[in-house]
Amino acid sequence: MSQPPESPDLMDSAIEALTDRIRERVAPELDMDEVFELFEQLRKTAGAIGVRERTGEIDEFGMDREYIREVAPVLDLLRTRWWRIGVQGADAIPREGPVLFVANRSGMLPWDGLMVADEVARQRDGDRPRFLIADWLITLPWVQPAMARMGGVRACRENAERLLRTGRSVVAFPEGAKGATKVYRERYQVQRFGRGGVVRLAAELGVPLVPVAVVGAEETNPILFKVERAVRPFGLPFVPVTPTFPWLGPLGMLPLPTRWSLSFGDPIDPADFGVDAAADEIAVSRLNEEIRQDIQRRVRMLLEERLNPFA
């Protein structure tokens, strides 16, 4: 981001001009109200110099449209060249109104959330959904502000509810950390879907659920094994060991160029399954499990279609 150079000359001349105007008006007939009004004007002008009118682009969750425009070429490169993302079922995405997307979580960093959100934004003419990210990502320097600017929001009920209520779509990963930190040999086994919070939220707000299967993100940073006991004294839950991390240092965090596929399912209205705001826990968890199995089925189908992760 380049900054416009500060111009003291501009400020000086503006103040001079205003001071002249004050003198002009004050001299003939000292009207104090007018003096105060001009003083207020002077105050506002002085305050506004150098204040760039860019803050309007940032919304209450910290998403920065200008920043997204700046990084759009990189996102496009990732989508078309690096991961060569294939998309199925994009026509089924509702074009209007808030939607709660439910996807399987994989890979350490939330590349999958970013790319699902990006794909939906392209399908919905720039109406970019927010993707929910785990708490621990928010503690990481540089990751936290970058994620917030690109539409990442901490995963919690309050945030998801506020977003959906204000008409914004959300990409949720109900597997949570269990999905993000599974080791390579458990790849593409969709984990338990939390406690059904996603279904309950959609039912309470009357928002459609769209299941999304993501294949390819699992191999971007494959965790071979986790070092747990040795790093406990340092306050870390575990350190992942991938083919490139920690051997290459921060470079090892770069995602590998696997081929990705996204598969969007048809929108599910919880009311069609007899799940509404007053539904009992059993009905909620039944639908929850059904969505998990649907995503698991889609993942298997996509896996059968591909030859190997990089082809």
Partner 1 sequence: MSGVVAITGLRTFLGRRLAERLAEGGHARVVGIDHVRPRRLPPNVDCHIVDLTAPDAGATLAEVLHKESVTTLVHLAFRQEPSADVEADHELDAIGSMHALFAAAASGVERVVIESSTRCYGPRPDNPNFLSEAHPLRGHRHDHRVRDRIEVERLLAQWHERHADIGVTVLRPCWMLGPEADHPIARYLARPVVPMLMGYDPLIQLVHEEDVLGVFEQAALMPHPGTFNIVAPGVVPLSLLIRSAGKRTLSVPHRFLHRLRDFPSQTQTGDEPSGFYDYLRYLWVADGEAGWTEFGRPTYDTRETWASFVGARRLRSMS
Query: 271 by DSSP, 3-state: which?
Result: helix
Of 14, 22, 26, 61, the one binding partner 1 (CB under 8 A) is 61
Of 85, 108, 153, 171, the one binding partner 1 (CB under 8 A) is 153
Of 84, 122, 162, 178, the one binding partner 1 (CB under 8 A) is 162
**Assigned token pair, 276:** 């509404």
Which residue number, 123 or 144, has a Cβ lying nearer to partner 1? 144
Q: Render 272-309 in DSSP notation, one character per residue.
A: GGT--TT--HHHHHHHHHHHHHHHHHHHHHHHHH-SST
- Residue 41 has phi, psi (to 5 degrees) of -65, -45
Q: Render 129-158 in DSSP notation, one character per residue.
A: PEEEE-HHHHTSTTHHHHHHHHTEEE--HH
Let me know: does 54 contact 66? Beta carbons within 8 Å: yes
The site that binds partner 1 (CB under 8 A) totals a number of residues, namely: 37
Beta bridge partners of 102: 172, 211
Contact positions with partner 1 (CB under 8 A) in 128-147: 135-136, 138-142, 144-145
Let me know: does 150 contact 63? Beta carbons within 8 Å: yes
Contact positions with partner 1 (CB under 8 A) in 80-139: 135-136, 138-139
Least separation, in Å, of the C-beta of 6 and partner 1? 5
Let me know: does 222 contact 241? Beta carbons within 8 Å: no
Contact positions with partner 1 (CB under 8 A) in 164-193: none
Which residue number, 204 or 294, has a Cβ lying nearer to partner 1? 204
Instruction: Name, in order, each residue with C-beta under 8 angstroms of 57's C-beta and a sequence gap of 6 or more.
Output: 64, 65, 66
Q: Render 169-184 in DSSP notation, one character per residue.
A: -EEE-TTTHHHHT--G
Which residue number, 7 or 80, has a Cβ lying nearer to partner 1? 7
Least separation, in Å, of the C-beta of 22 and partner 1? 13
**Assigned token pair, 242:** 């991938």
Which residue number, 43 or 192, has a Cβ lying nearer to partner 1? 43
Q: Contact region for partner 1 (CB under 8 A) — 158-166, 175-183, 184-192, 229-237?
A: 158-166
Supply the DSSP symbol for 215.
Answer: E
Query: x/- string (CB under 8 A) for partner 1, residues 9-48?
Result: ------x--------------------------xxx-xxx
Which residue number, 28 or 250, has a Cβ lying nearer to partner 1? 250
Rounded to 10 deg, the angle between the 197-205 and 281-305 helix axes is 110
Asked if 253 interacts with partner 1 (CB under 8 A), we say: no
Let me know: does 148 contact 131? Beta carbons within 8 Å: no
Of 58, 75, 121, 301, the one binding partner 1 (CB under 8 A) is 58
Least separation, in Å, of the C-beta of 8 and partner 1? 10
Asked if 148 interacts with partner 1 (CB under 8 A), we say: yes
Burial label for 174, CB within 10 Å (0-12, 13-18, 19+), is: buried
Asked if 156 interacts with partner 1 (CB under 8 A), we say: yes
Which residues sit at the interface with partner 1, rule CB under 8 A? 3, 6, 15, 42-44, 46-52, 54-55, 58, 60-62, 64, 135-136, 138-142, 144-145, 148, 153-154, 156-159, 162
